[in-house]
Structure formats: structure tokens, C-alpha cells
Amino acid sequence: MAADTDPDRYAFVVASNRLPVDRVVDEDGNEGWRHSPGGLVTALEPVMRANDGAWVGWVGQPDVEVAPFDNEGIHIVPVPLSSDDVEEYYEGFSNDTLWPLYHDVIEHPSYHRDWWNAYRRVNARFADQIAEIVEHDGIVWVQDYQLQLLPAMLRERRPDLTIGFFNHIPFPPVGIYAQLPWRAQILDGLLGADVIGFQRQDDASDFLRAVRHIKGYTTKGSTIDVPVDDPAAPRSRKGITVRHVEARHFPISIDAESFEAIAHRPEVQERAREIRESLGNPTTVLLGVDRLDYTKGIRHRIKAFGELVEDGRVKVEDATLVQVASPSRERVDTYAALRDEIELTVGRINGDLGVIGHQPIAYLHHGYPREEMVALYLAADIMLVTALRDGMNLVAKEYVAARFDNDGVLILSEFAGAADELKQAVIVNPHDIGALKDSIQRAIEMPRRERSTRMRALRKRVRDNDVARWSRSFLEALDRHAPNRAKLDPS
């Protein structure tokens, strides 16, 4: 796609709540930006560079106004949030209403009209900002649940645009979704997009069902007829003018090659050996890596492992569970309560079952750089992904990508989106503590041959379906949807 002559207008815009950069301030108070190398950025970077793209989002701190700037070849356009916006739109509506509602109401969602107003206000701010910077007939790709009103708000301001939306988290069954006092408005917001992407087929089906039940619109396969007041628009079988919106699944992935490349580095392998040694060289190292979030099933996994040690099925000298829980959304009450609960449980288990020199659980409340994560993956005989509900769970895919030695066992919850693809994992229902204990024991005892057969198949799957393929297939669906509009250059 040819770049526009106006340097402040972009042919391709990605919008997400958080920008792919972190603001860092050094000791002398100088401000800088650190590229945060998430999978989404890696996937979109080449498309951004080839199409003169811009990324619109929040810098992650309240009351920080920053002018647009370039970072490693990406145009960054910050949207400021005040501390009230952070409290009501981000911590409130996004993470204390939508997040628990969309994750099977594991925690109770709070419904506050003030939070809803803030959600609308911030989505509208994104829409205003984007409408100003995207060129005529441009393409906008909106990411995730924090911005569900943005597609319709953009369409209203700029009917010339082609708009995609991708939901990184699950979409709930209509019986749960229907609790939301603003259920129809959110659907209207999403239906402003041309293509709406979900992680799993089930998420897309639940969304289509919600559209039929709540909006009364007709759907056929993955296509929705959205009534429009435009005599030039096509007519549906019912004779009304409609826009066609496509809703289907596009399972997200990781940059598998880069994880494997890191795992091949001698210093990372040396670090993996060092980690095992620091743990007292147990026969089995088990690993959990999560944001400290109630959807991740951290309590279930700790309980199952603690009981195995307590029952004498696993000896404390022989096995250690390393649990990395990175700090997350700490000002939201449910998250603060979860932290207390987990830390109490870990303390109890270590106090009751530990011996000098051997603790059952090594608990780390930190985030780590990617190299350290890969060293942990290489050090771990068993990876535990026991989410109670998860859109995809990229940690499961990262573990697999790092295991170029075709060793290691992945225990994976059937409630994580990754379970649809990673079928050679040991699949568990994390609510069934008895079965979870049996699965852990089975993984500990699994013969090398079986571990290797399973891991080979898993690795092939993750390598063949990487994040570049994910973004390509979504953008191709957008192109198909707007055949007469401008096309993106694939890289």
C-alpha cells in the first residue's frame, strides 16, 4: 500500500489499551522508552513497517501526556488516561466488570454505572484520536476487551475505514453474558467492525448466539447481517439493507522461532543448569508461570502438589515446584486478596512439609526477562498450565517452543484456548484435584520415549502456527471483506 503524502496520516493503525513500549525514567530523571517485546508486536512489526503503520494506546501510567514519537520503526501515538480514567475504565470496568464476566464469573463482576461511563469516555477518546490520524480508506485493527466500543465509534466517525477487532480473552456463553447491564451496547460496539476475531471456535459461536438472542440479528455460518440505513447496501433475505460482519476464530500464537533461538544459546542453557542446582538438583522440577490472576488456577495447582507431598506420593527431596507469579492489577481488590491467599497457602505448605535445604515450593513474585523465562522452561521437567479459564495461554506455547530437546511434559487445562491445538499435552480439568494429582504423578513417571513423542508433535504444531501466521490470516480476512479498498502489504 502506498504511503500517504501527509506524514501524520497512517494507512494502518493498531489500537490496544497498552502501547508496546514501557516508559522508563533513569536516575537523572531523563525519560526514555523500552520496547516491550510481546508476541503481538513481533507479529505486527513487519506489517507496520511495510505499510506506514501507527500504534495507538496508553503508556501505562496515569496523567502522563506524551507527544507521538517513533520507537524502533513504529510510530507510537499515546492516548492519555487520568487517574480517574485508570480507576474507572481500566481497573474498574475493564478488569473488575468485563474480565471476571468473560472468564466464567470465577470472581463476581461488579456493575457500576460510573465505570460504564468512563469506559465509553475512554473508548471515544481513542476513536477521536484514531479518526484524526488514519488516512482515507485505511485499516484499523482494534485489540481486546478494553476497547469493544471502538469499532462502532470509529465507523460512525470514519465510514471509509476497514475495521478489525480481535478479542484476546474468552467470550462467555450468552447465559452469563446476559448479566451485563450494557450487553446490547457492547455488541453494537463490536459489530462496527468488519471482522471480529476470537481465540476459539466456541468463543465465536457464543458471540454469534449472543448477537441472535440479544440483538435479534440473523447469522449464517460466521456471517452476521447487521441492519443499516443505506439504500446502496445489499439486502438480506428478509429484504432489509445490511452490512455483513464476519465473526470467527483465529487462535493467536507466539514467535516460536525466537523462543527456540534463545533456548539454543549456551548461556541460557548454562543458566538452566544453574537454576536446577540452586534448587538442590531435585529429580523433578515442576514449573508454573502466570500473571498473578484468579483465572490461572494457581491455587489448584499448589494444592494438588502440596497434597502429593503430604500423601508421600512425592518426596520433598525429589521434586520442587517453581511458581513464578508476576505482579498484576494490584489495585483491584480481588487481585490483592488472591495474592494474600496464595502467599498464605505457599507459606503453610513450605512450613508444614519443607525440610532444611528442601522447600516444596519456590515462589517468586516477579516478572523476568525473556531469557530467564526460557532458562526456566529448559530447567523444568513438567510445565503446569492449570487455568480455570484462559483465552489462549501463551506460556504453554512458549514452553513447547523452547524445548528443542524434545523433552519435558506439558500439563494443560482443558479450559485454556491452547488445549484446542495442543492435544498431545496431558489435558486436565483443574477443578478435579484428584485427577490433577494423578496427572502430575503420571507426568513425573512418564517414560522418556513418550515424553519425546508428545513434545515433537506439540513443537510441530507451535512452529507451523506461529504469530506471523495468525496476523496474516486475520489481515487476509479483513482484505477479503473489503475487496475494493486498499490492501495491506503483507510484510
Residue 60: CB minimum distance to ligand G6P, A: 8
Measured distance CA(215)–CA(297) in Å, rounded: 34
By the rule CB under 6 A, 169 interacts with ligand G6P: yes
Measured distance CA(485)–CA(161) in Å, rounded: 9
Task: Give the footprint of ligand G6P on residues 170-229 (CB under 6 A).
Answer: none
Task: Decide if 490 contacts 475 (C-beta within 8 A).
Answer: yes
| CB of 241 or CB of 328, closer to ligand G6P | 328
Residue among 103, 168, 451, 481 that touches ligand G6P (CB under 6 A): 168
Residue 220 cell numbers, joined? 449464517
Angle formed at CA 95 by CA 90 and CA 101, multiple of 5 degrees: 140
Residue 332: CB minimum distance to ligand G6P, A: 9
Nearest by Cα to 353 from 302, 417, 404, 387: 302
Residue 58: CB minimum distance to ligand G6P, A: 9
Nearest by Cα to 317 from 354, 363, 346: 354
Residue 461: CB minimum distance to ligand G6P, A: 21
| CB of 329 or CB of 481, closer to ligand G6P | 329
| CB of 110 or CB of 328, closer to ligand G6P | 328
Task: Give the footprint of ligand G6P on residues 127-146 (CB under 6 A).
Answer: 144
Nearest by Cα to 382 from 315, 455, 435, 309: 455
| CB of 45 or CB of 225, closer to ligand G6P | 45
Binding mask 340-379 for ligand G6P (x = CB under 6 A): ----------------------------------------
Residue 147: CB minimum distance to ligand G6P, A: 9
Q: Which residue has the cell 480514567?
A: 85
| CB of 217 or CB of 399, closer to ligand G6P | 399
By the rule CB under 6 A, 61 interacts with ligand G6P: no
Residue among 18, 157, 183, 209 that touches ligand G6P (CB under 6 A): 18
**What phi, psi does 438 have (nearest 5°)?**
-60, -40
Angle formed at CA 11 by CA 5 and CA 17, multiple of 5 degrees: 130
Residue 367: CB minimum distance to ligand G6P, A: 10
Measured distance CA(43)–CA(345) in Å, rounded: 39
Residue 91: CB minimum distance to ligand G6P, A: 9
| CB of 130 or CB of 314, closer to ligand G6P | 130
Measured distance CA(36)–CA(455) in Å, rounded: 29
Measured distance CA(449)–CA(45) in Å, rounded: 39
Q: Which residue has the cell 549456551?
A: 266
Residue 14: CB minimum distance to ligand G6P, A: 13
Task: Decide if 164 contacts 139 (C-beta within 8 A).
Answer: yes
Residue among 328, 345, 429, 441 that touches ligand G6P (CB under 6 A): 328
Q: Which residue has the cell 522447600?
A: 359
Q: Pairing state of beta strands 382-385 and 409-413?
A: parallel
Q: Which residue has the cell 449472543?
A: 210
Nearest by Cα to 321 from 310, 306, 307, 311: 306
Task: Give the footprint of ligand G6P on residues 445-464 (CB under 6 A).
Answer: none
Residue 209: CB minimum distance to ligand G6P, A: 22
| CB of 18 or CB of 276, closer to ligand G6P | 18
How many of the other CB atoms lie within 10 Å of CB of 483? 7
| CB of 168 or CB of 461, closer to ligand G6P | 168
Size of the site for ligand G6P (CB under 6 A): 7
Residue 328: CB minimum distance to ligand G6P, A: 6
Residue 209 cell numbers, joined? 448466539
Residue 141: CB minimum distance to ligand G6P, A: 14
Measured distance CA(189)–CA(319) in Å, rounded: 50
Nearest by Cα to 9 from 128, 133, 127, 121: 133
By the rule CB under 6 A, 248 interacts with ligand G6P: no
| CB of 11 or CB of 392, closer to ligand G6P | 392
Residue among 155, 158, 200, 329 that touches ligand G6P (CB under 6 A): 329
| CB of 148 or CB of 284, closer to ligand G6P | 148
| CB of 329 or CB of 389, closer to ligand G6P | 329
Q: Which residue's CB atom is positioned nearest to ligand G6P?
A: 168
Q: For residue 240, which amino acid is it?
A: I
DSSP, collapsed to helix, strand or coil, labels residue 75 as strand
Residue 91 cell numbers, joined? 481497573
Residue 302: CB minimum distance to ligand G6P, A: 21
| CB of 75 or CB of 168, closer to ligand G6P | 168
Nearest by Cα to 420 from 472, 355, 465, 486: 465
Which residues lie near ligand G6P (CB under 6 A)? 17-18, 144, 168-169, 328-329
